[in-house]
Structures are given as structure tokens and as C-alpha cells.
């Protein structure tokens, strides 16, 4: 084991010891017996997920590339993201059920938190804040303002009337603070500050701390909500309560797994099937769909591609899609990054979906026929990955033609004496004709 790994593990052990001591000294006496049991259980599961990650990176030899990705707590859509989002979903459901049985102004507290934690569930897994960042920027500020509003409204709705309710409110605010503070502030510090300086520790190591604290904050709130349910939900409703929670967690895990690995396979039934192998047949493009066969100036053509690894993938493949004119000049291009579901996460013989959005220039020739092309290349080595055993025309050494699209003229069509409808190659359409007298 390297010295850097030794230092990293020592750092995490010290942080874990500080966490356990802090919980024991400052919070344990305020927990109910039920809350202690639930909190301990959630912590055991959480740290088990992290231990799987450490055991995997320390194992020799390494496991399949898929498992290296799936168990990596720094990767989106992996085991940790699935588990964390499940915790947030259970918190949302617990809040909803508590609101059903808790009356008065506190019902507003539960309804508010049910919707907030449902949104956080989707954000944790589908990374909604990244889309917000691309659309308006400064997602951290938006989330911080929203968090402040949530705290104020929660206090107003809860408005403690007893010492126990004060304790519950303070514990809620602490858990929410850890969850939000790690997800927003620590994320910003690590990504925008620490990772841009030389601290002797890599960004992934720092992100691990942020992910741990965010998950533990969610566990803190969930344990509190479940302990309140013991006081709020009548005995006859508890069986339904616990059954719903367990079922929801199982359904969520199955749903997100199916979204990535089952749904693309079902979508193949209506997609355009192709057979194009790349990199000596290690991966194959098996199907695609186009949002339209007609393009307009300043529009977007969405190309959904379906890929399949024919063996364990160790390379980081990049996909490049183009719209080409008849001289093979590119007028639109999309090179989606490896993103949160990189090629080494492709499980052999399982269909993977990759979507490209090709933005059309504001000025294009019309009417005109264009080609849609696809290229696969190795991110770490700019070698050409020539297509093999393909059933699509090869345009360049590493590029195939998928389809053709047409740009239509916006000019008003003249009157057609004799109407008809014939479609020729390249989507050229005859709408009518006129015969000489």
C-alpha cells in the first residue's frame, strides 16, 4: 500500500472517530431509544457502502471495470448515489405519512418537507443542479436561498410548544444543516477552491468527505422523522407505514436500475437497428433514433444512440455526432463528455443509451440534404477506432453515416396545379407537377 493511501486511510479513520465521539457527546442523550436504533442501523449501512468502495480499490487483482465504477462513491448513478437517493426518498415518504396523522400547523411542516426531500431525491440521482447551472448558473446561491426559506417556513409551521418539540426542531435543523452545508458549501469549497490549488490531496478524496457528510445528514433527518412517526402514527397504521417505506426503497432501486439498463433494451424495439462494431468489435452501435428527419435553422436535432459492450471495457470512449453537408463539412456537432456514465461502466452485453443534441446554425442551405454521422474515439489515446462489420456507409476511417436529414425552405410554395406526394432518396419530396398544355 502506498504512503499516500496510508495517509488517506488514516485521515478517514480520524474523521470517523471524531464523528462518533461528536455524536456520542453532543446528540446521543437527546435521541429517543427508537431513534438511536434507527440511526445506528442507517450508519452501519452507510459505512458498509463506503467499506465496499475501499475494499474494491485495495483489492488485487482489480474487479471488472463495471464494478470499479459502480462501487466508486464519487461516481454518479453508482451504488452510493442509489443508496443516498433512497434515503432521501424515504425521508420524503416519512414526512408525507407524518403529515397525514399530525394535525394543525405542523401538517404544513410535513407537507413542505415531503416535497423538498422528493426534489432532493431526484436531484441526488439525476443531478438536476447541474442542469440548473447550465441554464442560469450559480446553483449554489439558488439552493442556499431556497434552504433559508425552508428553514424559516419549517420553524413557523413547527413552532414548538414543549421541550421535546424544541429538541426535535433543533435536531431537524442540525441534520438539515449538515445535509445542505455539505451538499452546497463543501461542494463549492472542494470543487472551486481546493481542487484548483495544490493541497497534496486529490479532488476525489475531498469529494468523498462531502458525499459522506451529505448522506449522514440525510440519515440524521430520516431517523428523526421515523422516531416522530412512532409518536404520531396510530398502532393500526404503523404496519402500512413501515410496509410502504420498505416497498418504496425497493421500488426505487429497481426503477433506477431499470432506467439505465432495462429501458434502453425495451426502446430497441422501436429504434432503427444497425450493426456497427468499433475498436475491433469491442463495442457496437446497435440502434439509433432521430427526433426528426427535417431540420430547421437554429433548431436542434436529437440523436439517441444505443451501444453495447461485447467484452469488459477498460477504455474511456467518447462519442462524436455531426451533421455534414455534401462536401462532408460539419455544420453541427455534439461531443458529449464521458459524463456520469462512462464507457468503462458499460456492463458487457447490456444496452446503453447515449443522447446527442446537434444544434443547427441560424443560416443553412435550404432545401438541402444533409448526412448524420457518428464517430467513436478513445479519450486517452487519439487513435482511430475504425468501424468494422458495419451495415452503414463508412465516411472516414473512424466515422459512419447513420442517416440523412433535410432542411426545408421557408419560402412560400407556389400553387400546385396537380398535387401528389412522392418521396425520393435523401428525403426529397415531390408535392405536385404541371404538364405543358
Query: Whole-number mean pLDDT of the chain?
Result: 84
Domains held by the chain: number: 2
- Residue 94: inside a domain: yes
76 and 196 together in one domain: yes
244 and 130 together in one domain: yes
257 and 346 together in one domain: no
Calculate mean pLDDT across residues 174-193.
77
261 and 283 together in one domain: no
The tens digit of pLDDT for each residue in 251-308 reads: 998 998 888 888 898 999 899 999 999 888 889 999 999 999 999 888 899 999 999 9
244 and 310 together in one domain: no
- Residue 435: inside a domain: no
- Residue 413: inside a domain: no
What whole-number distance in Å separates Cα of residue 127 and Cα of residue 131?
7
pLDDT greater than 50 at residue 200: no
- Residue 169: inside a domain: yes
- Residue 431: inside a domain: no
205 and 227 together in one domain: yes
213 and 316 together in one domain: no
Cβ burial of 114 (10 Å; 0-12, 13-18, 19+) is buried
168 and 310 together in one domain: no
Cβ burial of 319 (10 Å; 0-12, 13-18, 19+) is buried
What whole-number distance in Å separates Cα of residue 407 and Cα of residue 429?
12
The tens digit of pLDDT for each residue in 300-329 reads: 999 999 999 998 888 888 889 999 998 899
Lowest mean pLDDT of 67-71, 106-110, 199-203, 399-403, name the range: 199-203
164 and 229 together in one domain: yes
pLDDT greater than 60 at residue 364: yes
96 and 235 together in one domain: yes
- Residue 290: inside a domain: yes
Cβ burial of 48 (10 Å; 0-12, 13-18, 19+) is exposed
State the pLDDT at residue 76. Answer: 80
Question: What CATH number should be reported for the domain holding residue 290?
Answer: 2.60.40.770
Q: Which domain holds residue 10?
A: 3-266
> What three-state secondary structure class fits 290?
strand
235 and 304 together in one domain: no
283 and 351 together in one domain: yes
What whole-number distance in Å separates Cα of residue 404 and Cα of residue 427?
8
- Residue 188: inside a domain: yes
What whole-number distance in Å separates Cα of residue 175 and Cα of residue 217?
5
Amino acid at each position: 500500500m502506498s504512503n499516500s493511501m496510508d495517509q488517506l486511510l488514516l485521515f478517514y479513520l480520524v474523521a470517523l472517530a471524531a464523528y462518533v465521539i461528536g455524536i456520542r457527546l453532543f446528540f446521543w442523550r437527546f435521541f429517543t431509544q427508537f431513534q438511536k436504533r434507527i440511526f445506528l442501523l442507517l450508519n452501519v449501512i452507510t459505512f458498509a457502502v463506503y467499506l465496499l468502495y475501499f475494499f474494491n480499490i485495495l483489492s488485487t487483482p482489480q474487479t471488472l471495470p463495471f464494478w470499479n465504477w459502480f462501487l466508486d462513491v464519487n461516481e454518479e448513478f453508482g451504488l452510493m448515489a442509489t443508496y443516498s437517493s433512497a434515503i432521501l426518498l424515504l425521508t420524503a415518504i416519512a414526512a408525507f405519512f407524518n403529515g397525514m396523522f399530525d394535525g394543525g400547523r405542523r401538517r404544513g411542516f410535513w407537507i413542505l418537507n415531503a416535497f423538498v426531500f422528493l426534489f432532493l431525491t431526484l436531484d441526488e440521482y439525476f443531478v438536476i443542479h447541474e442542469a440548473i447551472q447550465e441554464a442560469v448558473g450559480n446553483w449554489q446561491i439558488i439552493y442556499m436561498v431556497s434552504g433559508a426559506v425552508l428553514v424559516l417556513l419549517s420553524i413557523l409551521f413547527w413552532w414548538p410548544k414543549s421541550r421535546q418539540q424544541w429538541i426535535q426542531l433543533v435536531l431537524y435543523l442540525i441534520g438539515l444543516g449538515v445535509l445542505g452545508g455539505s451538499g452546497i458549501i463543501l461542494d463549492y469549497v472542494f470543487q472551486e477552491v481546493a481542487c484548483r490549488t495544490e493541497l497534496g490531496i486529490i479532488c476525489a478524496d475531498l469529494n468523498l468527505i462531502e458525499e459522506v457528510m451529505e448522506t449522514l445528514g440525510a440519515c440524521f433527518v430520516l431517523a428523526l422523522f421515523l422516531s416522530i412517526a412512532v409518536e404520531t402514527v396510530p398502532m393500526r397504521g404503523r404496519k402500512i407505514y413501515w410496509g410502504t417505506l420498505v416497498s418504496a426503497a425497493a421500488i426505487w432501486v429497481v426503477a433506477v436500475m431499470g432506467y439505465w439498463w432495462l429501458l434502453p433494451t425495451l426502446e430497441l424495439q422501436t429504434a432503427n437497428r444497425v450493426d456497427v462494431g468499433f475498436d475491433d468489435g469491442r463495442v457496437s452501435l446497435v440502434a439509433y433514433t432521430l427526433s426528426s428527419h427535417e431540420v430547421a435553422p437554429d433548431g436542434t436535432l436529437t440523436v439517441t444512440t444505443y451501444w453495447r459492450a461485447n467484452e469488459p471495457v477498460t477504455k474511456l470512449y467518447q462519442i462524436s455526432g455531426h451533421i455534414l453537408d455534401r462536401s462532408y463539412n460539419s455544420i453541427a456537432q455534439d461531443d458529449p463528455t464521458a459524463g456520469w456514465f462512462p464507457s468503462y461502466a458499460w456492463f458487457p452485453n447490456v444496452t446503453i443509451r447515449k443522447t446527442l443534441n446537434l444544434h443547427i446554425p441560424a443560416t443553412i442551405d435550404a432545401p438541402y440534404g444533409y448526412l448524420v454521422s457518428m464517430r467513436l474515439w478513445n479519450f486517452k489515446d487519439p487513435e482511430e477506432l475504425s468501424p468494422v462489420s458495419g451495415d452503414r456507409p463508412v465516411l472516414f476511417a473512424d466515422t459512419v453515416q447513420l442517416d440523412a436529414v433535410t432542411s426545408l425552405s421557408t419560402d412560400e410554395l407556389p400553387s400546385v396545379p396537380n398535387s401528389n406526394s412522392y418521396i425520393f432518396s435523401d428525403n426529397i419530396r415531390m408535392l405536385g407537377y404541371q404538364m405543358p398544355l
